[in-house]
Amino acid sequence: MPKETLKISRRTLLAAGAVLGAAQTVSADAATASGPASWADQQVRYKTVTLDGIEIFYREAGAADRPVLLLLHGFPSSSHMFRTLIPQLSAAYRVIAPDYPGFGQSSQPAIGAFPYNFAAMADLVDRFTQAVGAKSYAIYMQDYGGPVGFRLALKHPERVRAFIVQNAVASVESWNPDVVKDIAPFWQARNAASEAPVRALLAAATTKFQYTHGAARSDRLSPDAWIHDQAGLDRPGNDAVQLEMLYNYRDNVAQYPAWRDYLAKNQPPMLIVWGKNDPFFREAGIDYFKGLLPKAEIHRFDAGHFALETHASEIAGRMRAFLGKLAAS
């Protein structure tokens, strides 16, 4: 290479390096001014806390002095469903995502050693938030996260700053009638015959279906999601845990009027981010919340039950804008 060209190349690289270094400094200074003091705070950390002998696994990211986002997962997933969302929010928030007992990496107490119902799950999550020092929080609720989150709100309305609802329901009309047809007999009379269609929800094909059905961006679907969930379902004794939870879902239906009254009275801020092709929960769920909360912000996505798998960046963006307005109000 000619010396003149080499000199120009070196000068160009040095100049580019100086510009990049300055840009990185500005970016770091901006992050320090508006968020955590260290990039290390934004990295996801994997922790456990023990409550009554039960190890609760959780993912956490963000500085301890930031506003708390409590992420509550659905069936049959765990905090794993938030793996791509958490890093997109941790610059400005302390993001915490626990696994319920019997899910993900948390302990799986035997049936009889822990009451696998939603009231017990909510009580444990309540004590979890206290153990990790989360005194107030916005709640992200998907599927099972809805019944857990609404129970937390009824118990501690002063602690809940806002809701982000992603395919979680609070009314009978929000359900797909075909799903109700399959599960209602199980709720009414639990026996081998009524259990059969519910047990089918634990099969590998159904777990994959929950992720793939209605997902327009199939190229963004990672098989890791349903393989991870199925590994949990296939653990010895986990089928009994899941059947107990699915049976006790009927208690949530009985709580719908109390949740309605809470929402109507308290008018909490709500962001709805909804996968509109969900095979279980219909878009009527959006209409129900909007009827109770006229100021609710709504965004529909061409996605299925697990919308984060294909639209995490879009949902994170809507969350940042919504929570930013909440902080400014």
Residue 127's nearest CA partner among 98, 150, 107, 147 is 98
Q: Locate 148 and state its tokens.
A: 């857990």
Residue 73 is a catalytic residue: no
266 vs 31: CA distance, rounded Å: 34
Catalytic residue from among 73, 80, 299, 305: 305
From residue 253, alpha-carbon distances to 128, 138, 171, 246, 291 in Å are 25, 23, 7, 12, 18
Residue 94's nearest CA partner among 71, 123, 67, 120 is 67
| Distance linking the first and last C-alpha atoms of the chain | 61
Q: How do 94-98 and 54-61 pair as beta strands?
A: antiparallel
The set of catalytic residues is 305
